[in-house]
Structure 1
């Protein structure tokens, strides 16, 4: 390890993670960020990451919607082909996934709205809302699809 000014030589032995250094490509040392050693994984981090993934998946859903509208514009033959693809097992799987995305987007959006109002920022409510946003979309999507199959709107 290169000698760095203002960092004691025995700092690493004392468990001070800021004493570790990384040598930059220009040869200058800089302290290593301790965030990976300091932060432990938490459900609020999971909710935040899933919300970002949800936004990306919603973009895919928008492309599928544009394709569906284009098929509608191209006539009944093309539209029938798209409906046949949507009714296939793969199409139903994609539809279920997009339903999970929709519910995730709604629950995370509600969580953000509550936080923006200055509520739910303490540990217990933040954990509760994050757990709801992480785990809630799956049972809601299953319930939604059970209702679709039960009412005969969707079938295999």
Structure 2
């Protein structure tokens, strides 16, 4: 069988139109990596600070309360919510539902919007409500 050399051997990113479903798929992988690496580093530091003593925990608490530390914590919180909601989306798709283009795009957009809203709500509560 002759191959048409004008066509690529397999679909490439330049062929597909980018949509929210592609973004959420890539973000699912990226947030998984961020949670695995960043979360593990943060958890390890926190546990070591707890085990070492009050001075070490004070250093951890100072770093976590610093604006950069809060930015990291907010980023990990958003990663958690985005990864969780994207996983639920994939679970729904595993049942055979949600493959229609409109539904798929709507679910992808919902994961982005709801994860951002959940992050804002949680950190608003922590910084303004319970933390004040």
Q: TM-score, normalised by structure 1?
A: 0.74
Q: In the alignment, which residue of structure 1 is the partner of 2:48?
A: 70
Which deviations, in whole Å up to 9, do the C-alpha atoms of 1:85-134 show, x marking residues without a partner?
Answer: 10111111111111111110111011011112222122222111111123
Instruction: Work out whether 1:57 is the aligned partner of 2:43.
Output: no
Write out the 4+ residue segments of structure 1 that deviate beyond 6 Å after TM superposition. Answer: none
Q: Map 1:36-51 to 2 at 5 A.
A: 36=12, 38-51=15-28
Q: Map 1:5-154 to 2 at 5 A.
A: 6=2, 18-20=4-6, 32-33=8-9, 35-36=11-12, 38-59=15-36, 60-153=38-131
Task: Write 1 or 2 for the structure with the bigger share of helix.
Answer: 2
Task: Give the number of equivalent residue pairs.
Answer: 130
RMSD over aligned Cα atoms: 2.0
Task: Name the larger-Rg structure.
Answer: 1
Q: TM-score, normalised by structure 2?
A: 0.87
Contact 1:50 1:134 in 2 (8 A): no
Which deviations, in whole Å up to 9, do the C-alpha atoms of 1:59-78 show, x marking residues without a partner?
Answer: 11122111111111111110
Structure 1: give runs of 5+ residues left out of the alignment. 8-17, 21-30
In 2, the alpha carbon distance for the partners of 1:122 and 1:6 equals 34
Cα gap change, 1:120/1:6 in structure 2, threshold over 3 Å: closer, same or farther? closer
